[in-house]
A and B are shown apart, each in its own frame.
Chain A
Amino acid sequence: MGATSHKRWGKARVLDVCEVARHVRQVVLEPEQLEAPAPPGSHIDIGVYVNGRADVRSYSVVGMGAYGSELILGVQLARQSRGGSAYMHALRRGQEVSITQPLQNFPLTYGRPGYVLAAGGIGITALVAMGKALKARKADYRFVYGARSRDLMAFVDELAVEHGDRMELRIDDEGSSLDVAELVEAVPAGGELYVCGPTPMLDAVKAGWAKAGRRPAELRFETFGSSGRFAPEAFRVRIPRLGLETTVPHDVSMLEALQACGADMMYDCRRGECGLCQVKVVEVQGVIDHRDVFLSDAQHEAGDRLQSCVSRVVSPRTGGLPGADGQQAAVSIDVP
């Protein structure tokens, strides 16, 4: 069941907010109406306020609370986020928020001969419920959880207890890093690899999966387009044909900045999947940080188009180009 559901918005009350790792808070919500428990891999959309503006963010459902009527989320405060995580961290017990029913774009398939779940950092939130479900069905699985240091790893102690030998931690600080080739190799023929983590990790896994000649359909991942190769920074964007020019602040998407300055933009998914918000790149000073999963590696390399809902531009210096000190990134584009 992966078809796109109509989003139904409703109210939910914040039952609890507490720190579960460095920069990570667990948020427990009680929806006024919950028709069915959130399936593994599902997320909710939640209305947030960013820079005084109403906006929407997506967060994976970590699991259901003890009464079966609460949704548990895990939110990492991204230092240079677009502002959604700061709003989430500022939530207080008793507060009312608007959320959708659990939405499913990342369903877990049962009955496979083997599974590997691979989480990088806060990506763990999408895989906790999958691990629980696989364990309950006595599936053959490995659960790999990687991060830079242990204090950043939400839910790590509970997961270690729950999954015992099947849980493997890969912690850079402690000298064990995620090894993509090993990860891919651990998936038996006909098995599936479920990945959730930052863009560089996902890119590496996708490349390793392809290199090993594995079936693309058996690598499962989800993206909210919220991370890239570089930290987001402000840049200039111009549409010469329409005589428009604006700055894209570090915490605003190019799509939103263009809409705000009067461009009539087409879009739909807003997480870098569908390809509708694509713009043509006419000229770029700096480096494009592609954050979508719509374009191929070769198309990313060519750099003549980008998905404006998630992708960004960073300065030549940030992007590692020589001889362009202190210059802000800028991109000229054309739109449909």
Chain B
Amino acid sequence: MTRPEQSTAHASFRHFPLNAWYAAAWDHEVGRNLVSKTVANRPIVFYRTTAGRAVALADACWHRLAPLSMGKLRGDDEIMCGYHGICYDADGRATFMPAQDTINPSATVHSYPVVERHRYVWVWPGDPALADPGLVPDLYWNDHPDWAGDGRTIHVNCGYQLIVDNLMDLTHEQFVHGSSIGHDSLSESDFEVTHSDRTVTVTKWMIGIDPPPFWKRNLQDRFPDYEGPVDRWQIIRYTAPATIAIDVGVAKAGTGAPDGDRRQGVTGTVINTMTPETDRTCFYLWAFARDWCLDKQVITTRLREGVSGVFFEDEVMLEAQQRGIEANPGYDFYNLNIDAGSMWTRRIVQRMISAETGADASAPTHAAADAAVAMGAVTNAANEPRSDNGGGQGAEVAGGVARHRAEPAAGLMGRGL
């Protein structure tokens, strides 16, 4: 008896393909220090060679599985295990063994394929033979001269798919972000969904509306005297498995924005890429890039802080939703038409997973993934005092994330920033 193909719509769906690029960190987070991160349930240690190459090795010494992130950097490109001193090069091959003059030929740790692009360090947890750099999602706005912006990383206690769902349906802005970007027209407007093998696009136009506070301010950066209605757009572009670039903006109403003429408006790109840490936790790397007043650093900072506050509202809801799912194990989602975008992303992800079935026969258990995360926290903390040995940006950034969580920028928008 076959069942209808519905599993991807389930509340319990929190799987991810392994044959994919995931943004493990911002470029500046990986330096001449050891950063332990769990990506797709796999403990990984990141560092940079003196030549500038970002390296991702399995964070478990071949010898007795001690975390390499408890060790230290050696020479230009090597890492030394902190337990018995075995050294590995950037390709994970042993270069030094204690108490023997030779190198054991089987002494290797897995070196994950890494690509740096558009300010992120991307890692490929799956089959290295398939790691085609051409598959890295195109997030050019992050480092293109026609755009200015910045962003952050949020560690969220929810499955990455819940964030994808959140971004694929912006109806929630009206209810979650009422003081900044929410607007009644969001849930009243029609939207259009299209898809291809690896992408999904959701398009929504709101014509002739009063701009919400966030967009009124942005439009006035460019047109200080304009007080009138706007045409607002949200064009959500998903690239499998977990990257979403949202083309957002407003233009003076009736100046042709829906037909492609945005000269009387301002355009932003919300860059989002989610990296599964475990089945129910993830890293959310986001940035906001704009096409107006590129020379004004104050706007870059204002937008980064403002969006940070907006996303904290999402973080609160998404972590609560994850707890809600776990507190209601016998129950499932009821999917609505507004979930069409997310339903397509889940179907595409499921097809990617099906295509690689068998490749993940040795997937770690929940307990193993949780242990990896706990280990990472311990080893990163142990690394922190050593931030003087060249760089230590990782620790600095981690501190920034922690500060964001302790004292979110929520409310900045309310104060008119």
Q: What total of chain A residues lie within 8 Å of the partner, measured CB to CB? A: 21
Question: Of A5, A264, A268, A275, which contacts B6 at CB under 8 A?
Answer: A268
The complex places the Cα of A264 from the Cα of B328 at a distance, in Å, of: 31
When the two chains form their complex, are residues B337 and A6 in contact, meaning their CB atoms are under 8 A apart? Answer: no
Question: Of B1, B193, B334, B336, which contacts A54 at CB under 8 A?
Answer: B1
The complex places the Cα of A233 from the Cα of B340 at a distance, in Å, of: 29
Is B194 in contact with chain A by the CB < 8 A criterion? yes
The complex places the Cα of A304 from the Cα of B333 at a distance, in Å, of: 28
Is A76 in contact with chain B by the CB < 8 A criterion? no
- Min CB gap B326→A, angstroms: 13
Question: Of B3, B328, B335, which contacts A3 at CB under 8 A?
Answer: B328
When the two chains form their complex, are residues B331 and A3 in contact, meaning their CB atoms are under 8 A apart? Answer: yes
Residue of A with least CB distance to B344: A266
- Min CB gap A101→B, angstroms: 10
Contact indicator per residue, chain B 315-354, by CB within 8 Å of chain A (1) or not (0): 0000000000000101111111101100110010000000
Is A274 in contact with chain B by the CB < 8 A criterion? yes
Quick one: which of A282-298 are within 8 Å of B by CB? 294
Is A231 in contact with chain B by the CB < 8 A criterion? no
The complex places the Cα of A47 from the Cα of B4 at a distance, in Å, of: 10
Q: What total of chain B residues lie within 8 Å of the partner, measured CB to CB? A: 26
The complex places the Cα of A164 from the Cα of B239 at a distance, in Å, of: 63
Known: A4-B334, A276-B336, A336-B193. A9 touches B3 (CB 8 A): yes
When the two chains form their complex, are residues B331 and A274 in contact, meaning their CB atoms are under 8 A apart? Answer: no
Give the chain A neighbours of B195 by CB distance below 8 A. Answer: 264, 336
When the two chains form their complex, are residues A268 and B1 in contact, meaning their CB atoms are under 8 A apart? Answer: no
Is B2 in contact with chain A by the CB < 8 A criterion? yes
Quick one: which of B343-400 are within 8 Å of A by CB? 343-344, 347
Is B222 in contact with chain A by the CB < 8 A criterion? no
- Min CB gap A95→B, angstroms: 13
Give the chain A neighbours of B330 by CB distance below 8 A. Answer: 5-6
Is B412 in contact with chain A by the CB < 8 A criterion? no
- Min CB gap A25→B, angstroms: 22
Known: A5-B330, A336-B194. A268 touches B335 (CB 8 A): yes
Find the residue from B1, B3, B9 having the highest chain A CB count within 10 A: B1
Is A98 in contact with chain B by the CB < 8 A criterion? yes
- Min CB gap A262→B, angstroms: 14
Give the chain B neighbours of A6 by CB distance below 8 A. Answer: 10, 12, 330-332
- Min CB gap A215→B, angstroms: 21
B: residues with CB less than 8 A from A are 1-4, 6, 9-10, 12, 192-195, 328, 330-337, 339-340, 343-344, 347
15 A-B pairs with CB atoms under 8 Å apart are A3-B331, A3-B332, A3-B334, A4-B332, A6-B10, A6-B331, A7-B332, A266-B340, A266-B347, A268-B6, A268-B343, A270-B4, A274-B334, A294-B337, A336-B195
